Amino acid sequence: MQRPVESGQYRAIRYTERLEEAEAVASVGSKGDSYDNAMAEALNSLFKAECIRNPVMRPDGGWKSVGDVEIGTAEYVDWYNHRRLHGEIGLVPPVGFEATHWASQPAKHYRQNLALTGAGTS
């Protein structure tokens, strides 16, 4: 008797399929992969240095509440993705680089999953 597929396994299968569709390589390989951990640690250090500990980002008198940190984080993420000039991609913001990339790709047509007619009606 075969055990049913668990939801975590189903997500992993869909994740792998989606990566294949996008012709991407998974960066999350084996459990405890040092490369993924190093990337996460580097981003965390950058965030702490540029946002949390940076006097320019901190409100006057420092972070007073979790709400202050949440707002500061949202502002930092917006800057990081939309206005930061990234040297490895030609000194353009990441969102602009991604938009240019996708604009140069041929359009793919995906099958539509139509909802059942009458679903949820009495």
Is residue 74 domain-resident?
A: yes
- Can you give the residue range of the structural domain that contains 67? 44-105
Rounded to an integer, the average pLDDT of 11-31 is 72
* pLDDT tens digits, one per residue of 88-116: 999 999 999 999 999 998 887 766 666 65
Measured CA to CA, the distance from residue 49 to residue 52 in angstroms comes to 6
- Residue 38: what pLDDT? 81
Which of 15, 18, 44, 41 has the alpha carbon at shortest distance from 28? 15
Is residue 23 domain-resident?
A: no
From residue 87, alpha-carbon distances to 5, 23, 93, 94 in Å are 44, 24, 9, 10
Number of domains in the chain: 1
Is residue 64 domain-resident?
A: yes
Q: How many CB atoms lie within 10 A of CB 51?
A: 19
Is this structure's pTM higher than 0.75?
no
Is residue 58 domain-resident?
A: yes
Is residue 67 domain-resident?
A: yes
* pLDDT tens digits, one per residue of 35-83: 567 888 899 999 999 999 999 888 888 899 999 999 999 999 999 999 9
Residue 32 has pLDDT above 90, yes or no: no
DSSP state of 89: G
Would you say how long the chain is, in residues? 122
